[in-house]
Amino acid sequence: MPSSMGDPIVVKDTGDVVVYQYPASYTSNDVQYFDSRSNGRFFDEEGGHGDNSLAAQDALKLEDQYLDADMPHAIETQRKRHRRRILLGTAMCLLIGVIVLTSVLANRKTKSTEESNVEIAGVDSVVDGAGASLVVPIQPSAPSIAPEISVNISSTFSPTSSPTDSSTDSSTDSPTDLPTDSPTDLPTMIPVASSPTSALAITTLEPVVANPSLLLDTTTSEGRAYAAVVAENLTDPKEILQRYSLLTFFFSSQGSDWVQKDGWNTPGSDTCEWFGAGCNSNGEVTVLNLSNNRLIGSLPHDICLLTSMKNFIVTANVLVGTFPDCFGDMTGLQELHVTGNFLDGLPTTLYSLPDLTRLSLAANDFRGSIGNLWSGAQQGEAIFPKLQTLDLHSNNLSGPIPGTQLAQITTLKAMNLFNNPNLYGSLNEMCSSVNLFMATADCNISCSCCRNCPQNIGRQGN
């Protein structure tokens, strides 16, 4: 053995073959074989020195039984790959032979239709040598049709084994080592009612979600949320609904990239302990505060399923798209803060929320008239019955200020309209409000009770 490799370990000495294995500290997954029948030549897995010789083949068979299992076996992959190729080649040869035999048999005229199987002379010896069994049944009613072929390769078949050592390598040469090429990224199909859990989830969610067809589409945030809920085997419809609603928001705003996401999308975790969430005594989420948390995406419609929500705060993020009008279904909502995003489409249903006190829609991309906020109100219907703060600054609002309607919000204490250069009109009608403490707008807006232009205008009440 080469002295530069260190002192090898003699693993097995059969007289004809001596197997050495170097300690891991001296070599890198190196195993060499010494063949006394070939003038003291060494064989290794990649050196090309007689790898196909009988000595090397014998050494390969000895490896599984005698080499140290704790040391690296670099030859394992190469050996399996080599044997797979031989297995596939042998199977192909057998198949071709069977096809040829079948073609010959199909053209032979059978004298007796009572025989169900034909024994082929000479086949047994060929099959025994390869370790396979061959059965060629002939259909009595249709002798001219190609017969059905059944080929079974035994689990001890080893093309590289010699007759004397076949028993030492049966554990690694089974057909289960054949490579499989099946794809690993097949589309996920979610059964609608294949289990009690999925049946409960679908019956709970289907009547209330915005688009039931999205539940089975795992490319959508709704489909991913539904799949996560089903995987958790939840049995409480309330928790199914709540978890699904939160997860649609998580997936629609790239939750995996949030700054803080403790608990979110974690199976078995308590929803009330998810970062930014708060619950009442019934375990219902009433607070969601994810301000400045790198939310990038949109507000999904199904977030509105959290009908117990009181405070929804997502300021200073990157939320885009139209603000969902379904927030009007959160009848317990008290504070809504979405300042500092890129939302558009003024919500038209919030005016009827009975407990809404603070509405912050500033620094977005809301356009059009302020009056769109209550465009759905009926004649004489009260708007924003408890609103105290209305913040609309730094948007793209336009048109006249609806002073008459704003003056009807008698609970209003603070209103911010500045940095909406396309707004015009007057705030004079609001000057009579005894509750209004502060109002800001651009200096082109007239106001008899305001001061502090040219920066902004304001009024301080009693």
What pLDDT does 13 receive?
56
Per residue, the 3-state secondary structure of the chain, as one string, reads CCHHHCCCEEEEECCCEEEEECCCCCCCCCEEEEEHHHCCEEEECCCCCCCCCHHHHHHHHHHHHHCCCCCCCCHHHHHHHHHHHHHHHHHHHHHHHHHHHHHHHHHCCCCCCCCCECCCCCHHHHHHHHCEEEECECCCCCCCCCCCCEEEECCCCCCCCCCCCHHHCCCCCCHHHCCCCCCCCCCCCCCCCCCHHHHHHHHHHCCCCCCHHHHHCCCCHHHHHHHHHHHCCCCCHHHHHHHHHHHHHHHHCCHHHCCCCCCCCCCCCCHHHCCCEEECCCCCEEEEECCCCCCEEECCHHHHHCCCCCEEECCCCEEEEECCHHHHHCCCCCEEECCCCEEECCCCCHHHCCCCCEEECCCCCCEECHHHHHCCCCCCCCCCCCCCEEECCCCEEEEECCHHHHHCCCCCCEEECCCCCEEECECHHHHHCCCCCEEECCCCCECCCCECCCCCCECCCC
Question: Residue ranges of the domains in the chain?
Answer: 3-73, 76-177
- pLDDT, one tens digit per residue, over 283-300 is 999 999 999 999 999 999
What pLDDT does 15 receive?
52
What pLDDT does 136 receive?
37
- pLDDT, one tens digit per residue, over 264-323 is 999 999 999 999 999 999 999 999 999 999 999 999 999 999 999 999 999 999 999 999
What pLDDT does 397 receive?
97
What pLDDT does 224 receive?
96
pLDDT tens series, the chain, 462 aa: 444 445 555 555 555 455 555 554 444 444 444 444 344 444 444 444 444 445 445 555 555 555 555 544 433 344 555 566 777 778 888 888 888 787 777 766 554 444 444 343 343 433 343 343 333 343 444 443 333 433 333 333 333 333 334 333 433 344 344 344 444 443 343 444 445 668 898 999 999 999 999 999 999 999 999 999 999 998 899 999 999 999 999 999 999 999 999 999 999 999 999 999 999 999 999 999 999 999 999 999 999 999 999 999 999 999 999 999 999 999 999 999 999 999 999 999 999 999 999 999 999 999 999 999 999 888 888 999 999 999 999 999 999 999 999 999 999 999 999 999 999 999 988 888 778 888 899 888 888 877 665 444 444 433
